């Protein structure tokens, strides 16, 4: 009954893009809406850490239905993930070995409250660590002797929508010279992701106009923590700009509807 109502509502409003902002850990509810997107030809922007765009089986179903999607798990405009990515990239580009990269987050909104439930937290932690680990993988640098940790660490109601992230990087530079980097970032969590989501909606909409299908590589890498293909920041941005200018790249040519 509920499914029929949702379908009716989406049809009545001629919805072309559906944004998934369900509570963290909503596996079945996300799959429910993903199924409906496939049925109705709606593009999904999956902003939560339930793996759809980055799951090849799910992606294939969107390809078969002729729909572009973006996912998974939104990155904020200036949040902990993009800062961690840039720090990891900087360390590697300047020839350092990363001994440890630790990112800890505290906040007081519903998302942090939900993550007190360890079952809901699991996929978020994987997704957050993917951002850092990906920069090793792209460059073929082993993570074996690096301690990588990223995740929400505590719910403190007083913080409200303010999220505070702490970063600690321990590096080895030329001739093993030690480098310690400690920093703190304080942001208002909700609006920090809103602008990025608007970009994602625009990218997926242009992709629909161009006849692209499946999980968009560049826009997913730029706007999400767990995309189907992780990229360096500069490559992801180049893909996004090309799409915004309606130019096809080697990556998007492969995604043209057959």
Ligand X SMILES: NC(=O)c1ccc[n+]([C@@H]2O[C@H](COP(=O)([O-])OP(=O)(O)OC[C@H]3O[C@@H](n4cnc5c(N)ncnc54)[C@H](O)[C@@H]3O)[C@@H](O)[C@H]2O)c1
Which parts of this chain interact with ligand X (CB under 6 A)? 21-24, 29, 47-48, 73-74, 76, 109-111, 114, 189-190, 192-193
**Residue 168 to residue 154: CA distance in whole angstroms:** 17
Token reading at 45: 């922007």
CB of 51 to ligand X, least distance (A): 13
Q: Which of 142, 146, 155 is nearest to 104 (CA)?
A: 155
**Residue 27 to residue 46: CA distance in whole angstroms:** 12
CB of 145 to ligand X, least distance (A): 30
The length of the chain is 258
CB of 151 to ligand X, least distance (A): 12
Query: Is the CB of 55 or the CB of 172 nearer to ligand X?
Result: 55
- Where are any strands of DSSP class E within the chain? 17-20, 43-46, 68-71, 97-107, 147-155, 162-172, 178-188, 214-215
CB of 203 to ligand X, least distance (A): 17
Query: Is the CB of 193 or the CB of 222 nearer to ligand X?
Result: 193
Task: Look at phi and psi of residue 83 and say left if phi exceeds 0, alpha if psi is from -120 to 50, else beta.
Answer: alpha
Query: Is the CB of 95 or the CB of 195 nearer to ligand X?
Result: 195
Query: Is the CB of 91 or the CB of 197 nearer to ligand X?
Result: 197
Query: Is the CB of 96 or the CB of 128 nearer to ligand X?
Result: 128
């Amino acid at each position: 009954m509920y499914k029929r109502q949702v379908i009716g509502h989406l049809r009545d409003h001629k919805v072309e893009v559906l944004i998934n902002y369900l509570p963290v850990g909503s596996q079945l509810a996300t799959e429910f809406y993903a199924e409906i997107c496939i049925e109705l030809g709606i593009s999904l922007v999956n902003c939560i850490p339930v793996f759809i765009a980055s799951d090849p089986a799910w992606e294939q179903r969107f390809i078969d239905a002729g729909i572009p999607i973006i996912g998974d798990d939104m990155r904020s405009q200036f949040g902990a993930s993009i800062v961690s990515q840039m720090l990891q990239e900087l360390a590697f580009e300047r020839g350092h070995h990363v001994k440890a990269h630790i990112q800890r987050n505290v906040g007081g909104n519903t998302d942090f409250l939900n993550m007190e439930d360890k079952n809901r937290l699991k996929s978020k932690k994987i997704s957050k660590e993917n951002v850092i680990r990906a920069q090793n993988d792209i460059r073929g640098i082993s993570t074996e002797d690096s301690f990588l940790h990223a995740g929400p660490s505590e719910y403190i109601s007083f913080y409200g929508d303010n999220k505070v992230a702490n970063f600690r990087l321990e590096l080895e530079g030329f001739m093993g010279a030690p480098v310690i980097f400690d920093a703190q970032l304080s942001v208002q969590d909700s609006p920090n992701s809103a602008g990025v989501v608007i970009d994602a909606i625009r990218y997926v909409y242009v992709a629909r106009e161009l006849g692209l299908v499946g999980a968009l590589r560049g826009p997913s890498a730029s706007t999400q923590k767990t995309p189907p293909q992780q990229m360096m920041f500069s490559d992801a941005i180049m893909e996004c700009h090309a799409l915004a200018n309606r130019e096809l790249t080697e990556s998007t040519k492969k995604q043209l509807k057959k």
